[in-house]
Copies of this chain bind each other. A is one copy, B any other.
Amino acid sequence: MKKWDIAVIPGDGIGIEVTPEAIRVLDTIADIHGGISFQYKEYPWSCQYYLEHGVMMPEDGLQQLEQSDAVFLGAVGDPKLVPDHVSLWGLLVNIRRGFEQVINVRPAKQMSGIDSPLVDPKGFDFTVVRENSEGEYSEVGGRIHSGEDETVIQSAIFTRRGVTRTMDYAFELAKTRRGHVTSATKSNGLVHSMPFWDEVFQDISKNYNSIETQSIHIDALSAYLVSKPHAFDVIVASNLFGDILTDIGAAIMGSIGIAPAANINLNGKYPSMFEPVHGSAPDIVGKGIANPIGQIWTAKMMLDHLGEQEMGTLLLDSIEEVIEKGIKTPDIGGTSSTTEVTDHILNTLTLRA
């Protein structure tokens, strides 16, 4: 019996509502499999925790999580309680960086049963591989002068190591998919960072002769995700560009409520972290209508990462079946509750197994 230790951080808002749903799913998966089990340890780190302790997580928080096989996170942030940059950098970004989760992987695909806002989504199916540790999200910068003369500098920092490992990951992923990598650039506007990004992309593509490549400026690429998303397979992007592209990806899927994400530690030193793309959505908290699919699909990414791809595939198939049957929360045009959607996924899993 393989036992996986999962550190669970429900976080804020609907994070608290959807995380237990995904755990019900994981337990059913374990039952079906027979040879694996999950042991959860829950951490109450959140904006509420901040109000009580003055920090989003304790000083030794990373050490507490370190022995787990994966971190499973719901959503962080509640701007009414704590400013976003405090809550998000204090918890989410802190874990991403502390655990060297240098890659963020976010798939986007047309799901039958969910109406895309696009007239003709043509079965798009792409994955964004996002640099997750440096780039535009740097704390380097500051202010000078005040009043009318106030000037602010914000520096993006890219290292060859950081860019290389991200691109390697993207190319390796493309090998297992349709063999195509698109690089998101803006070398015509950002004249230091992006020409460098392009150079590394060219260098690395030489190691992957079987992979087709192209570079597209972020402005045009954002537009293409609307006009021809089916043209993309793997997209590799910087921290900021990846952030933007994956939200567009969620939008064309029909709801940010279904989009999953994985923060990958590559060197095996620390656990990886799995958290959906959506945030804590304070506006729908307590109504029982939060879409659990983002969190459940994220559990599928965790299963894949733990080596349980067969279970991962079973789970995604079950999710799709339930959606196709019309068992959906309101954000994707249904009338079902959070719990009802999960219940149907559990039944489908059991029937399919």
Residues of A participating in the B interface, judged by any CB pair closer than 8 Å: 77, 84-85, 88-89, 115-120, 136-137, 139-143, 147-161, 186-196, 218-220, 222-224, 226-227, 239-240, 243-244, 246-248, 250-252, 256
Q: A190-B240, A218-B244, A219-B243 are in contact. Are A151 and B160 (CB under 8 A)?
A: yes
Chain B residues in 8 Å Cβ range of A252:
226
Give Cα A154–Cα B246 distance, bound, in whole angstroms: 23
Q: Is the CB of B136 within 8 A of A160?
A: no
Which chain B residue lies CB-closest to A186? B240
Q: Is the CB of A156 within 8 A of B153?
A: yes
CB distance from A184 to the nearest CB of B (A): 11
Give Cα A160–Cα B143 distance, bound, in whole angstroms: 11
Q: A158-B152, A160-B148, A219-B243 are in contact. Are A142 and B192 (CB under 8 A)?
A: yes
Which chain B residue lies CB-closest to A156? B154
Give Cα A267–Cα B119 distance, bound, in whole angstroms: 44
Contact of A193 among B141, B161, B191 (CB under 8 A): B141
Q: Is the CB of B85 within 8 A of A195?
A: yes
Which chain B residue lies CB-closest to A76? B188
Q: Is the CB of B226 within 8 A of A190?
A: no
Q: A141-B192, A222-B248, A223-B251 are in contact. List 20 more A-B contacts (CB 8 A).
A: A84-B188, A85-B189, A85-B191, A116-B119, A117-B119, A118-B119, A143-B196, A147-B160, A148-B160, A149-B159, A150-B160, A151-B158, A154-B194, A186-B240, A219-B243, A223-B248, A226-B248, A226-B251, A226-B252, A227-B251
Chain B residues in 8 Å Cβ range of A251:
222-224, 226-227
Question: Which 5 A/B pairs are nearest by Cβ-Cβ distance?
Answer: A141-B192, A154-B193, A223-B251, A219-B247, A226-B251
Q: Is the CB of A223 within 8 A of B196?
A: no
Chain B residues in 8 Å Cβ range of A223:
247-248, 250-251, 256
Q: Is the CB of B247 within 8 A of A222?
A: yes
Chain B residues in 8 Å Cβ range of A151:
157-160
CB distance from A154 to the nearest CB of B (A): 4
Give Cα A140–Cα B193 distance, bound, in whole angstroms: 11
Chain B residues in 8 Å Cβ range of A239:
189
| Subset of 9 A-B contacts with CB under 8 Å | A85-B187, A88-B188, A116-B119, A136-B190, A151-B157, A154-B158, A154-B191, A189-B239, A223-B256
CB distance from A50 to the nearest CB of B (A): 15
CB distance from A309 to the nearest CB of B (A): 29
CB distance from A118 to the nearest CB of B (A): 6
Chain B residues in 8 Å Cβ range of A218:
243-244
Give Cα A227–Cα B257 distance, bound, in whole angstroms: 13
Give Cα A88–Cα B217 distance, bound, in whole angstroms: 13
Chain B residues in 8 Å Cβ range of A136:
189-190
CB distance from A241 to the nearest CB of B (A): 9
CB distance from A122 to the nearest CB of B (A): 11
Give Cα A147–Cα B159 distance, bound, in whole angstroms: 10
